Amino acid sequence: MKKLLLFSLLVAGLIAKAQVPFFSADGESVLVYSLPKTVFCIEIETEKISQKPGKFYRYSERYLATNKVITEEKTIYKLKNISVKTRAVADPNRTYSVVPNGNLQTSRLSVNAEGILRGVNIAPEPQTTFIKAAGTTQNENSVLDALLPLGEEYMMAGSEAKLAEGAAKQIYRIRESRMGLLTADVDKVPADGESLKAMLEGMNKLEKKLTELFVGETTTEIQSKTLYLTPTTTINNDVLFRFSALKGVVAADDLSGAPYYISLVPVDKVVTSGSKSKPESGALYTVLPVSTQLTIVDGVNSVFSNQFFVSQFGKTVSLPESLFKQANIKVRVDVRTGRLLGVE
């Protein structure tokens, strides 16, 4: 029992130390942390409209008295929405090391999974586990076969026209049955409203599928594509992507689509720290991020506009060593921007 307890304490100690990024440089142990760099995640939501001709579209006018049918496959894309979010990644140009010192609280650094500074004397970041749900598929042929439970007269004919005639008769039978239910002109009426509703929904769904065999099927699918942008300087009307009604979102250099432009202009004055400097012993760096206006236009109209804090445009500031001589001091840093949130 004592051995088991000792082993558990040892494992707990290793987990706690995993929050402190120890490395060895020139024979000396150091703590390494990074400040964040802002990455823009631009999500483009499009609507894909696919049109597919029905199996019996040639007989739609003969059996359903309509000529409004889809005769060829076609796909059309429409731009629905553009949204922008930001995430932080470790900035290799703002990665620093601190020599552990028992008299300074900087020995209790905390970083996230990417090595970005979270603060000093901060509880470990909770781990999140994602479970991917399994998708399901449906056999298109089995659905089509279920729609045509025709008798021997039609199935043995070996003629597409005869099959179309049988499908049309099914459509008319469904319509007659539905009218009978709605007017109570049937031998057996459903016992309650829910049963009647379920029967009508089933009839409507079956009629729609059978009708699509003649007039064609139109499906709408919402798709999204995410572009990642990590700016190093301001941006003024650069082509972000192009959009084609036939292909959807295409590359910026694909002239088959209409261009969408992006601008990234700081609202505040950009005061960068220039080249990376070595912090004083025991000091800690944070960032003063710059508020920046991001705008996306289609050449005429603005489709997105909002302000974001950009870490790499901001200046690094050093927290003095004397601050960390206080016992149990807590320093909180925003991992998304590198801004100092508070000192307790």
Same domain, 108 and 227: yes
Q: Please give the Cα distance from 175 to 178 (Å, whole number).
A: 5
Domain co-membership, 116 together with 239: yes
- Work out the burial of residue 42: count CB atoms within 10 Å of its CB; fewer than 13 is exposed, 13-18 middle, 19 or more buried: buried
- CA-based nearest residue to 245, from 82, 42, 48: 48
Q: What is the pTM of this model?
A: 0.73
pLDDT at res. 284: 84
Q: Which residue do the tokens 């998304």 mark?
A: 336
Q: Residue 143: its pLDDT value, please?
A: 44
Q: Are residues 252 and 338 in the same domain?
A: yes
Residue 73 lies in a domain: no
Cα 174 to Cα 204: distance, rounded to the nearest angstrom: 8
Residues 289, 154, single domain; the answer is no
The pair of structure tokens assigned to 211 is 């009708």
How many domains does the chain fold into? Answer: 2
241 lies in which domain range?
20-46+80-123+221-343
Residue ending a domain, choose from 171, 199, 214: 214
pLDDT of 89: 93
* 190 and 327 co-located in one domain: no
> 184 and 302 share a domain?
no
28 and 143 both lie in a single domain: no
* 319 falls within a domain: yes
> Which amino acid appears at position 236 of this protein?
N
Question: Could you tell me if 292 and 310 are in contact, meaning their C-beta atoms sit under 8 angstroms apart?
Answer: yes
For residue 133, tell me if it sits in a domain.
no
In the listed set 169, 189, 214, which residue is the last one of a domain according to the structure? 214
207, 228: one domain: no
Which residues of the chain have a pLDDT value below 50?
Answer: 1-19, 22, 24-25, 130-144, 273-277, 279
Does 105 fall in a domain? Answer: yes
pLDDT, tens digit (0-9, with 9 covering 90-100), for 266-311: 987 655 544 444 545 557 889 999 999 999 999 889 999 999 999 9
